[in-house]
Chains A and B, each alone.
Chain A
Amino acid sequence: MSAPDVTTTSAPSMEAAAHTGAVRPRRFGAWYVAEHQLRQMRAYGWTVVMSGIGSPLIYMLGIGLGLAAFLEVPVASGPDGPIDYLWFVAPALLVTAAVSVTTEEFTYTVLAGFKWRRLFWAMNASPVSPEQICSGLVIAVAGRMLFVSAAYYALMVAFGAVGNVALGALLVPVGVLAGFAFGLPLLAFSASITDDKGQFAMVQRFVFTPLFLFSGTFYPLDTLPVGLQWVGWVSPIWHGSEAGRILSYGPGPGSWPIAAHLAVLVVMSVVGWVVARRVFVGRLRG
């Protein structure tokens, strides 16, 4: 087998070739990274699908047939009075599912890219930029969150866990947005880690789990003592769940406007996004 062809050309045509060679990567670099990430996810595709469908199914069955049947006093109200417990809890479960995708994909995947398998360094040597590497990762994870949220929503509809099925479909993008609000700051943090000293297990135990439990997921936030309610106010899960509830069955008494919830999620996402991109640039272009 002969060596691959190599062309020797003059300086101007060399520069011209370089300019041509960079056109597509400059434009589509992030999508190439996303394509690669999605291909990788196929390696654990079964886990993605099973956790995407299996976990909501278990929650719907457990809460819909178990807990909801057991609760005799209505827990929450919509605009027209008390609502089904399943209606109340389902949007929060969907949002939590989307957020939990990021606790995997924006943690170990990131450290693997920088340190264990060093894939980000390989991408970095190609025409794509560190910002595009960061964006590509985010696009791929958005894809997985979209799948998880859509699967969740389909099951919610099947279980009658949604008030307004048409408007409630917006829960899918809201889930993705809440995932970003939690996940992009987490991505920035993960990208800054050089040594795994169990930080991700700490995030799971001391950030994600408390947020999940104290974000008005299973009961309204105002049932908590005032001293603990702030956990909900800073929690993307609470803001996402509340926005989702408004979309599903309308605002209950004392609800914040949906725009306020969405604004908080957008601000958290944007801040995380900006910082994450900077950390990627700093690390790959040091």
Chain B
Amino acid sequence: MISASGLTKTFGDFTAVAGIDFEVPPGEAFGLLGPNGAGKSTTMRMVGAVSQRTAGDLRVVGLDPDTHGPEIRSQLGVVPQEDNLDTELRVRDNLIVYGRYFGIPRAVCAQRADELLAFAQLEDKAKAKVDDLSGGMKRRLTIARALINNPRILMLDEPTTGLDPQARHVLWDRLFRLKERGTTLVLTTHYMDEAEQLCDRLIVVDHGRIMAEGSPSSLIREYSTREVVELRFGSDRNAEAAAQLEGQADRVEVLPDRVLLYTDDGERLLERVAHAGLHPTTSLVRRSSLEDVFLRLTGRSLIE
């Protein structure tokens, strides 16, 4: 569906995307995980055929975006980072008007709009003004709008940023349904739980480069331990305590507010910490996540 090799984008002296390679087969949910400024959105814009690559090769639905932009865009659904719904139009009209850009006849747009409003659970809001919708509803409407042309690839840039947990789960549920129906999903996120929930496979991107690639579980297996112990000793004592814990765990990370100990058995490690005479103010044993993978790969946290 998408194949990129040596894909590069520079803006003057700044290299936003530094020669990345990836393939997305049909039906896959593919994620780009990385912090703000990693080059995710720039990559999405190149795949979306709205930004020319500086170098490398890129094919989307078998075509070159440089020469077949409109053809490629006719097969894409794009959910941008910032909502750009038409607030002057009502909810249903937003879908109809957008469908027209794909050359879809008005009557067909109207019929699809009704189906999509049902899919987005917005049937009773059809005549509402966009501004009266909640943040989660606006996102669902934006997704519905992106589906008006029955796209082969749905591209979502930070789909749940700024939404409350409940709204995120509703949205994930809708995306999951699309995935089940075989829509190819390409999404960027800096939320590791989102990537874990939705992505079959992902690339971890930082400074325009791919740091790692694989399924969420394989990345965690490869770059982290099974469990993580999080200890808080107080911000001025964390570093000192970490020094004493060196050697107790597979790996020790000191963050400003806590110490992370990577191990396959968190409970046993916690016992050893107590035996060593260390008494953290709080302790927590949890499963490793993509956040830990990212920390390991870049030495930095995803959300800064």
Contact = CB atoms under 8 A, between A and B. Distances in A.
Interface of A: 1-8, 11-12, 14-15, 17-19, 21-26, 28-29, 32-33, 35-36, 39-40, 43, 117-119, 121-129, 284-286
Contact of B182 (A6, A40, A126): A6
B52 interface: yes
Contact of B152 (A1, A4, A6, A127): A6
B167 interface: no
A33 B98 CA distance: 9
Contact of B71 (A22, A121, A128, A286): A22
Nearest to B177: A3
B98 A126 contact: yes
Nearest to A27: B103
Contact of A6 (B73, B121, B178): B178
- Most B Cβ at <10 Å: residue of A14, A29, A117, A126: A126
Interface in B42-101: 48, 50-52, 61-63, 68-76, 78, 80, 82-89, 93, 97-98, 100-101
Given A4-B150, A15-B62, A21 B74 contact: yes
Q: Closest 6 interchain pairs by CB?
A: A24-B103, A21-B74, A126-B101, A118-B84, A125-B78, A22-B70
B28 to A, nearest CB: 11
Contacts of A118: 80, 82-84
Contacts of B103: 21, 23-25, 28, 32, 127
A253 B147 CA distance: 64
A28 B82 CA distance: 27
Nearest to B149: A21
Given A8-B182, A29-B101, A285-B50, A43 B119 contact: no
A134 to B, nearest CB: 15
27 contacts: A3-B119, A3-B180, A4-B116, A4-B147, A5-B181, A14-B62, A18-B61, A19-B71, A22-B71, A22-B74, A25-B70, A29-B101, A32-B101, A33-B101, A36-B101, A40-B88, A43-B88, A43-B89, A122-B85, A125-B48, A125-B73, A125-B76, A127-B69, A127-B101, A127-B102, A128-B70, A286-B11
A5 B147 CA distance: 10
A21 B121 CA distance: 28
Interface residues of B, number: 53
Nearest to B72: A18
Given A14-B61, A14-B75, A122 B102 contact: no
A15 B61 contact: yes
Given A4-B147, A18-B71, A128 B88 contact: no
A39 B84 CA distance: 17
B288 interface: no
Contacts, number: 147
A11 B62 contact: yes
Contacts of A22: 68, 70-71, 73-74
Contacts of B71: 15, 18-19, 21-22, 127
Contacts of B11: 286
B177 A117 contact: no
A235 B240 CA distance: 75
B177 A129 contact: no
B256 interface: no
A28 B74 CA distance: 14
A11 B102 CA distance: 21
A121 B101 CA distance: 13
Contacts of B93: 39
B15 to A, nearest CB: 15
- Most B Cβ at <10 Å: residue of A17, A21, A24: A21
B26 A21 contact: no
B193 interface: no
Contact of B70 (A14, A35, A119, A129): A129
A198 B61 CA distance: 44
Contacts of B85: 117, 122
A18 B74 contact: yes
B183 interface: yes
A285 B51 contact: yes
Contacts of B27: 8
Interface string B160-191: 00000000000000000110111100000000
Contacts of B177: 2-3
A1 B78 CA distance: 22
Nearest to B130: A117
A14 B59 CA distance: 12
Nearest to A126: B101
A39 B177 CA distance: 33
A15 to B, nearest CB: 5
A18 B180 contact: no
Nearest to A26: B70
A1 B147 CA distance: 15
A128 B97 CA distance: 13
